[in-house]
Amino acid sequence: MLIVDVLLAGFTLGGMYALIAMGLTLQYGVARIMNLSYGEVLVMSAFGTWFAVTRLDWNPVAVLLASLPLGYLASWLIYRVLMMPLVRRSGAGPALEVDSILATFGLLFLLQGVLLLAFGGNYYSYSYLSQPVDILGSQVAANRLVVLGFAAAIGLGLYLLLTRSRLGTAVRAVAVAPRFAPLVGIDVWRLSAIAFGIGGALVAGGGTLLSMFLPFSATMGVVFAMKALVVVIMGGVGNLLGCLVAGLMLGFAETLVARFVDPGLTLAVNFALFLLVLLLRPAGLFGRVAR
């Protein structure tokens, strides 16, 4: 069944993009850091998972449980050590955007260099739950279903955290009005570090999930970061629902083009979609137009 094939592939890919983009939208929408090295964290996590699974005989799901807190910690540290000086220097003004883009651009090359040194430029993968499952007459690898399930669970967890908890309310307050949040007793910098960390947890989790069903290489982080950025901006910065919708749009567009036109044109489709959305709605699908 072609339709089921396309639906499942589109949902898995789109769900992954949405998950990764949610992390980035937290980093950019709340902590105001445009993190170009975001994709490298994803790839590092994928390689970490590969190492744990193939060398230490861990179960990938166990790795997922470890990679979430590790991703949080690593990103929290990146924010405190590398980003804080820039935040202080710019007074969180407009210069921060340019400075953070430049600093994380440097970080991108640094991390990619480390990965290339450790693993070279080849593709890596491992086998996990690759036996096919029959769904409505269509054969699907079981790992894709597992990935889809976890991606949905993590996304839902984040949504509940942001809408139902005190911490989430504070995070949203910083996203909407960073200048006024301190007036109600919110420590903006602490919250920014936490949001940046949560973003890191999501992308690390995304890397582990990615490694379960796709081969990966040291240099593919850039493309993922770019797609995540495209999703974030298409959906409207800081908007989780926007991430979901834009992520799925991208996932389906890519799946359709790869299936029916040419796999070599997926990036072109991404960009075409990106431009189309921005020309029609400059603030993104769910973004608010600034006053």
Partner 1 sequence: MNALPSPAAAGNPAGAGRLALQALMVAGLALLAALPWLGADDYLIAVGINILQYGVLATAWALFSGPTRYVSLATVAFFGIGAYTAAVVGETLPWPAVLAVALGISVVLALVVGLATLRLSGVHFVIFTFGLAELVHQLVNWYEVNVTRTLGRYLFVDITQVQIYWQLLALLVGVLATGWAIRRSRLGLALQVIGDDEVVARHVGIDTTRAKLLLFAISAGFIGLAGAVMAPRWTYIDPAIAFNPVISFQVLIMALLGGANRLFGPLLGVLPVAILFELLSGSFPNHFMILLGLVFMAIVYFIPNGLFGLLQRRRHRAGKEGSK
Q: How far is the CB of 237 from partner 1 (least distance, A)?
A: 8
Q: How far is the CB of 271 from partner 1 (least distance, A)?
A: 5
Q: How far is the CB of 166 from partner 1 (least distance, A)?
A: 30
Complex with partner 1: residue 43 or 170, whichever CB lies closer:
43
Q: How far is the CB of 68 from partner 1 (least distance, A)?
A: 26
Complex with partner 1: residue 36 or 188, whichever CB lies closer:
36
Nearest to 119 by CA among 31, 196, 55, 184: 55
Complex with partner 1: residue 8 or 257, whichever CB lies closer:
257
**Backbone Cα Rg of the chain:** 19
d(CA 142, CA 21): 24
Q: For the purposes of burial, counting CB atoms within 10 Å of the CB of 117, is it exposed (0-12), middle (13-18) or buried (19 or more)?
A: exposed
Q: How far is the CB of 238 from partner 1 (least distance, A)?
A: 13
d(CA 184, CA 202): 28
Complex with partner 1: residue 1 or 268, whichever CB lies closer:
268
Q: For the purposes of burial, counting CB atoms within 10 Å of the CB of 67, is it exposed (0-12), middle (13-18) or buried (19 or more)?
A: buried
Residues in contact with partner 1 by CB under 8 A are: 34, 36, 82, 85-86, 89, 95, 97-99, 101-103, 105-114, 116-117, 222-223, 226, 229-230, 233, 262, 264-265, 267-268, 270-271, 274-275, 278-279, 282
Complex with partner 1: residue 113 or 149, whichever CB lies closer:
113
Decide: helix, strand or coil at residue 135: strand
In this structure, the dihedral spanned by the alpha carbons of residues 119, 122, 128 and 129, taken in order and rounded to 10 degrees, is 160
